[in-house]
Amino acid sequence: MNIVVLAGGISPERDVSLSSGKMIYTALKEKGHQAILLDVYLGYEKEIVGDLTAVFAQHTDWAADIVAIKSESPDILEVKARRMDGDKNFFGPNVIRLCQAADVVFIALHGESGEDGKIQAAFDLMGIRYTGSDHMSSAIAMDKILSKELFRLHGIPTPVGIEVSQGEAVKLPEGMKSPDIKSPDIKYPVIVKANNGGSSVGVSVARNDLEYAEALKEAYCYDEVALVEQYIEGREFSVGVLAGKAFPVIEIAPKQGFFDYHNKYQPGATVETCPALISQATASLLQRLAEKVFVVLRLKNYARIDFMMDGEGDVYCLEANTLPGMSPASLLPKEAAVAGIEFGELCERIVAGVR
């Protein structure tokens, strides 16, 4: 097949996306597909002459920025400065032409303008086939507050949380009632998240008023709306879902702090165990909940669902990732491997699931 692997972009998760894209591109080439690795924002500036479909068999790699994922998110202003028309058109030179010529586009983007449904909506209008969820389910899953409301509506346990908008008072409301936690109040510690962020960018734990104000300030760097959520002390798990069926559960145990951007992508910062060392009953519960989230949010193709379990064994769904990372440090490929699916086969199954 002729496949464009679309990576990069201008979200804080740019480096992660480029790493995922490189892995996917290499695997698809090894499986015999004719693939192009393309930065959605920088594109390919040179003139393409002749039949576009022939280009897939001629070139190697057109995403030049791939580097090891650093401990901090990249400088997006520097990336934007490399395009004079960047504010007028998100898609770089030749991106749409090449995507239209492909049999399918493997979207390896993460975060804003990639995982939030905007690109999916554009591709739907242009008749471009792509991997992952459609524009509507992508937008719903990207919105943490809306997702949480749907979790509650459908009986999926989730930590109590409140919406806070930039400009509002930063004092933590008291007396919030919720059936989702044993205590009727939301209280410190809390976790503050940019509502439409990913890879734990714009996420902080706050244990007092000063830390809470600083956490909101950090979240507002990435979104005008923040989710303030009861912090669950305990163990963290993730469950990949492919074609509606859950993978084995993986446990994530950072050596220090919580599973933030640094701990997600720096080698040796986190201990990951798959299958997780939990009872079969707990594993089955997490898998059933992951599959239910997949249905409730109307997800397509594949996804990854994140959970916490407190000291009493109660589990809580945090969020769904509609374009899970496929980098060397990512969780989904590790879960698939335990299920007997090597990385190249995983990529091909995702492509085969496109409708």
Q: What is the CATH number of the domain that holds 45?
A: 3.40.50.20
Identify the band that residue 107 occupies on the pLDDT scale cut at 50, 70 and 90. Answer: very high
Residue 148 in any domain: the answer is no
At 222 the three-state DSSP class reads coil
**Count: domains in the chain:** 3
The per-residue pLDDT for 98 is 93
The per-residue pLDDT for 181 is 35
Segment 259-285 shows an average pLDDT of: 77
Asked whether residue 12 carries a pLDDT value surpassing 90, the answer given is: no
Over residues 329-350, the pLDDT tens digits come to 789 999 999 999 999 999 999 9
Do 225 and 238 reside in the same domain of the chain? no
Between 268 and 109, name the one with better pLDDT: 109
Q: Look up the CATH number of the domain holding residue 292.
A: 3.30.470.20
The per-residue pLDDT for 55 is 77
Q: Which residues contact 283 (CB under 8 A, 6 or more apart)?
A: 248, 249, 275, 276
Query: Across the beta sheet with 104-107, what order do the strands follow?
Result: 61-62, 34-39, 2-7, 104-107
Residue 351 in any domain: the answer is no
Q: Which of the listed residues 199, 230, 261 is the one where a domain comes to its end?
A: 230
Do 310 and 322 reside in the same domain of the chain? yes
How far apart, in whole angstroms, are the C-alpha atoms of residue 200 and residue 254? 13
Q: Which two tokens stand for residue 187?
A: 């209280």
Asked whether residue 66 carries a pLDDT value surpassing 70, the answer given is: no
Q: Which residues contact 238 (CB under 8 A, 6 or more apart)?
A: 249, 250, 252, 304, 305, 306, 307, 331, 335
- The terminus-to-terminus CA distance of the chain in angstroms comes to 15
Do 108 and 31 reside in the same domain of the chain? yes
Do 174 and 268 reside in the same domain of the chain? no
Supply the range of the domain harboring residue 218. 160-230
Asked whether residue 319 carries a pLDDT value surpassing 70, the answer given is: yes
- Extract the runs of DSSP E, i.e. beta strands, from 255-341: 270-273, 302-310, 315-321
Across 58-67, 177-186, 211-220, 298-307, least confident range: 177-186
The per-residue pLDDT for 273 is 95
Residue 83 in any domain: the answer is yes
Q: Greatest CA separation found in the chain?
A: 67
Do 223 and 253 reside in the same domain of the chain? no
Residue 260 in any domain: the answer is yes
Segment 243-255 shows an average pLDDT of: 93
Q: How high does pLDDT run on average in the chain?
A: 86
Do 226 and 240 reside in the same domain of the chain? no
Do 243 and 174 reside in the same domain of the chain? no
Over residues 175-190, the pLDDT tens digits come to 444 433 333 467 889 9
Residue 136 in any domain: the answer is no
Segment 8-25 shows an average pLDDT of: 90
The per-residue pLDDT for 148 is 94
Asked whether residue 64 carries a pLDDT value surpassing 70, the answer given is: no
Neighbours of 31 (CB within 10 A): 15
Residues tagged active-site: 13, 199, 265, 304, 306, 319, 321, 325
Do 126 and 8 reside in the same domain of the chain? yes
Residue 337 carries which side chain, given as an amino acid letter? A
The per-residue pLDDT for 167 is 74
pLDDT over 70 percentage in the chain: 84
Segment 118-125 shows an average pLDDT of: 96
How far apart, in whole angstroms, are the C-alpha atoms of residue 187 and residue 74? 33
The per-residue pLDDT for 63 is 59
Do 11 and 123 reside in the same domain of the chain? yes
Helix (H) or strand (E) holding 205: strand 203-206
The per-residue pLDDT for 113 is 82
Segment 225-236 shows an average pLDDT of: 92
Q: Which residues of 291-307 are buried (b: 16+ CB within 10 A; e: fewer)?
A: bbbbebbebbbbbbbbb
Asked whether residue 269 carries a pLDDT value surpassing 50, the answer given is: yes
Helix (H) or strand (E) holding 242: strand 234-242
Residue 329 in any domain: the answer is yes
Do 215 and 256 reside in the same domain of the chain? no
Q: Which two tokens stand for residue 37?
A: 């690795």
Do 282 and 206 reside in the same domain of the chain? no
Q: Strand 190-194 and strand 104-107: pairing?
A: unpaired
Do 86 and 168 reside in the same domain of the chain? no
Q: Is 211 exposed, middle or buried (0-12, 13-18, 19+ CB in 10 A)?
A: middle
Across 202-206, 228-232, 252-256, 259-263, least confident range: 259-263
Q: Which residues contact 159 (CB under 8 A, 6 or more apart)?
A: 180, 181, 229, 230, 231, 232, 308, 316, 318
Q: Which of the listed residues 230, 252, 279 is the one where a domain comes to its end?
A: 230
The per-residue pLDDT for 170 is 52
Q: Which two tokens stand for residue 168?
A: 């509002």
Over residues 182-224, the pLDDT tens digits come to 334 678 899 999 888 655 667 889 988 888 889 998 889 888 8
The whole-model pTM stands at 0.87
Q: Which of the listed residues 130, 149, 182 is the one where a domain comes to its end?
A: 130
The per-residue pLDDT for 221 is 86
| Residue 211 φ then ψ, to 5° | -65, -35
Q: Look up the CATH number of the domain holding residue 165.
A: 3.30.1490.20
Over residues 68-93, the pLDDT tens digits come to 555 566 677 888 888 877 667 899 99
Q: Which residues contact 276 (CB under 8 A, 6 or more apart)?
A: 237, 248, 249, 250, 251, 283
Residue 20 carries which side chain, given as an amino acid letter? S
